[in-house]
Chains A and B, each alone.
Chain A
Amino acid sequence: MKDNLKIISVLTIITVICGFILAFVFTSAQGKIQENQKQAIYRAITTIVPEAENIQEKTYGEDLVYELKDKNGEFLGYAYVTDGQGYQSTISILFAVDKDIRDILGIDIIESVETPGLGSRITEDAFKDQFKNVPLAGIFEVVKELPQNPHQIQAITSATVSSRAVVSIVNAGIEKLKAILKK
């Protein structure tokens, strides 16, 4: 009985101490982590739309939309972060559209854990640039051969699943943004 008491108390005390240490470390680093995530998003926006100098966050219910303006205050468009299931884990994608959601300006991969050397190539410019300045007349689709029109996205060799995932996440994201902004 005395042994049991000792076992339980030692385990509890150590777990509680560890909990407090972690709480302390976490709260002191939390600001920095959020700052990093914000930085990553802002960096992605300025690579897609280099003219965007003034980025404002607007919340619509639970959704966060970034409004982009150039240095003269001219309204350029919106950026939005959306995610979905990839081949191995969640892929988080940022895309930017013009102010009437007529054209997609480009996309960037914020977070992904795809197979190194294959699926991970969705983060390469050659793939992402296929989404650059395309009119949003229809939805994007994946093809394995050379694309015939701007809405066809050529899949990465032997990473069709990851390529398809990106395309369907972007398609769904655009619909969602339209619904949020009611356009």
Chain B
Amino acid sequence: MNSTQLIIKGVWTDHPIFRQLLGMCPTLAVTTSSINGISMGLAVLFVLFFSSFVVSLIKKIVPSQVRIAVYTVIIATFVTIVDIFLKAYFPDISRALGPYIPLIIVNCIILGRCEVFASRHSLGVSLIDALAMGSGFTWGLFVLGSIRELFGAGTILGFKIMPAFYNPLIIMILPAGAFLVLGTLVGVMNKIEQKR
């Protein structure tokens, strides 16, 4: 499989959110605004990239019985690094994402890619796959966050978009809105796929 195919898979045909329905917890929880969506996406991209890097390097020496535990420890380490980094340099983002940063550890996308891909492929290919899946995840979160912010607060990235008379639908920012928007989006993606 060449790298172009890998990238197309990650950002479209095998999209982690819309097609594989992985990593639902951060997808739904932090997308109350577009900026939160991007931050979470980038944090996941970082962890996914470095975890795939390490997993691909050590795949030969890890006994298969404990591989999941080893992968999880590696992922948890990178997540802690992200957490500390955000606290130190971007305290506002760290506060907004709150407890959902440590929950990246159990984001099935990361463990899934480590287990299914990085542990079976060479370093270069694993890194491309990680980048592709991570970017797919990031744009998915951005779109979801923007839609919810647009209808729920009338803004995108904090800029006023909706006309002044628009009364924000708070429900879009609330948990229920997250489910409704994602459900509809997955449906829309299915529709686009069917047409092709």
Q: Which residues of A contact B (CB under 8 A)?
A: 3, 6-7, 10-11, 14-15, 18, 21-22, 25-26, 29, 32-33, 36-37, 40, 89, 111, 113, 115-118
Contact = CB atoms under 8 A, between A and B. Distances in A.
Interface centre among B33, B65, B88, B98 (most CB of A within 10 A): B88
18 contacts: A3-B65, A6-B63, A7-B66, A10-B66, A10-B70, A14-B58, A14-B70, A18-B73, A18-B77, A22-B80, A22-B81, A25-B84, A25-B85, A29-B85, A33-B84, A33-B87, A113-B98, A117-B174
B19 interface: no
Interface residues of B, number: 31
Given A22-B77, A118-B174, A113 B88 contact: no
Interface of B: 32-33, 58, 61-63, 65-66, 69-70, 73-74, 76-77, 80-81, 84-85, 87-89, 91, 95, 98-99, 152-153, 168, 170, 173-174
Contacts of A15: 73
Contacts of B70: 10-11, 14
A22 B83 CA distance: 11
B61 A10 contact: yes
B31 to A, nearest CB: 10
A11 B98 CA distance: 29
A94 to B, nearest CB: 15
Given A18-B77, A21-B77, A117-B152, A36 B88 contact: yes
Given A3-B63, A10-B63, A115-B174, A29 B73 contact: no
A40 B91 contact: yes
Interface centre among A14, A33, A113 (most CB of B within 10 A): A14
B16 to A, nearest CB: 24
Which 8 pairs show the lowest CB-CB distances between chains A and B?
A: A117-B173, A32-B88, A18-B77, A29-B88, A116-B32, A36-B91, A117-B170, A29-B84
